[in-house]
Amino acid sequence: MVTMGTRPGARSRPLLLLLLALPLVRGLGTRGQGGDPRPARVYRTPEPVYTEQYFEQVLDHFNFESYGNKTFLQRYLTAATFWKKGVGPIFFYTGNEGDIWEFAQNSGFILELAEQQNALVIFAEHRYYGTSLPFGKQSMQRESIGLLTVEQALADYAVLITELKKQYGARDCPVIAFGGSYGGMLSAYMRMKYPNIVAGALAASAPLLSVSGIGDPNQFFQAVTADFQSSSPACVKAVSKAFQEINDLYLSGAYDRISSEMSTCKRVSCKEDVYQLFEFARNAFTMMAMMDYPYKTDFMGHFPANPVKVGCEQILAHQDHMKGLAALIGVFYNSTGMAPCYDIYKQYRKCSDPTGCGIGPDAEAWDYQACTEINLTFSSNNVTDMFPEIPFTEAMRQQYCFNKWLVHPQRDWLQTMFWGSDLKAASNIIFSNGDLDPWAGGGIKSNLSSSLIAITIKGGAHHLDLRGSNPADPPSVTDARNLEARIIHKWVKSARIERAWEMSAGISP
């Protein structure tokens, strides 16, 4: 929905929608044999009440003619329970490709740190995701989606921070940006592009290099394979055999057997169906590797503790490799165990991101971003990984994106706009990566300077350090969070000293 307003929209519109504080331990009932409930303990950080609000945001920050002073409503969440008003820092989460509640409910470390450092917490939703839709239900149409860019999103955050600091009487409060995955990229970019607004950034599992087109396009699926290899070498062999058997049956025209043993809802009947099945299955491995936490989680799906290990146990429990593969991917696609079959076209959508866009409107938005600025030309090759050979080259990306969106991807734009691998001019950014995360190979894995710090978390999956403390956490993530807390405290202290000096020198309003 586009509304008319002044540039920028400086008022927020609070809703009467609050998230009640969650208890430390929440029991989720699962059904055991005989129908007896078996409580499954899911640990969560005690969360203060989040308040959901909307900010009247500028529609187009960079063109004064196309939309004039038009605005849209951007959603954000706040938690001021721990804040020392006017003094404590502001911890600002740069929302990524999804509903902001999902990230707020799975980033408990930020709240734990806010309690330690008396911070105000803000989670801002990314334009075109969740309910922050500039053109309402028409936002994903070709004629409406052009304002979905990294640059517009960063400008949204810069304007929002500036206006909320005025609203909260927090002019002198240092801001630290936080984010995970694409959100981690955005937090780093905020520090790089708006160092006058953001004093530092924690960029967790942020693949700044690989999405800029830097590195080996085969690295991602090689890393997914390595996760399963480290769990069980026999598992990887069984997976490779299963895919080979499917391919052999396809070449012999045995579609009925493929359909039966892989439990597809509709009969696999052509090469297109077979490769859809291959990508559908490969996506399950990707998700299990990313979400390989040592405890149950409902983030990005419904996962058991250690899903990679559970998946390997599934395939190795079957004599028939194909049936074992069907059981393995069910850890992701059939977490309840109640689905009678796999709808391979409905449950997995081919898009410009070979690691998966998901489904629904948010998936459409991400598909567009991967067709414009975000470079995800990743391939599996059946040599360095366990998957069928499925290339996704720049030429294939160009063709797909023009057919779908009538756009030509800017392959090297992120290297130009956000510096590529030459980040030495930046400062005050933590780059954290877990060694189990397949995205880690595309991120910053060594210190670039005294204030550009890389942290590797042994036994850590996708931005594990942003999640709340859990009894099952490996010691490495506890150590990482403690180090991050010390560094951030130092940044906040330095920013306060610098601000005091500016005011005493009369060079700051």
The two three-digit tokens of residue 107, written as one number: 């980033």
Separation between Cα atoms, residue 360 and residue 8, nearest integer Å: 30
Q: Which phi and psi (to 5°) does residue 316 adopt?
A: -75, -15
Determine which one of 132, 139, 181, 432 is catalytic.
181
462 included as an active-site residue = yes
Q: In whole angstroms, what separates CA 15 from the centre of its chain?
A: 26
Separation between Cα atoms, residue 358 and residue 364, nearest integer Å: 9
The two three-digit tokens of residue 155, written as one number: 């400008």
Say if CB 228 and CB 286 are below 8 A apart: no
Of 43, 58, 53, 42, whose CA–CA distance to 19 is shortest? 53
Separation between Cα atoms, residue 149 and residue 186, nearest integer Å: 11
181 included as an active-site residue = yes
- The SS3 assignment for 508 reads coil
Of 227, 212, 215, whose CA–CA distance to 385 is shortest? 227
Say if CB 120 and CB 90 are below 8 A apart: yes
Of 130, 181, 49, whose CA–CA distance to 360 is shortest? 130
Place of tokens 């991917």: 329
Residues in CB range of 206: below 8 A, 6 or more apart: 179, 180, 181, 182, 184, 185, 187, 188, 431, 443, 444
Strands 452-457 vs 429-434: parallel, antiparallel or unpaired? parallel
Determine which one of 353, 385, 437, 465 is catalytic.
437
Residues in CB range of 486: below 8 A, 6 or more apart: none
The two three-digit tokens of residue 204, written as one number: 């967790």
Number of C-beta neighbours around residue 225 at 10 A: 21
Residue 57's alpha-carbon distances to 171, 178, 358, in angstroms, are 20, 21, 27
Say if CB 226 and CB 464 are below 8 A apart: no
Catalytic site positions: 181, 437, 462
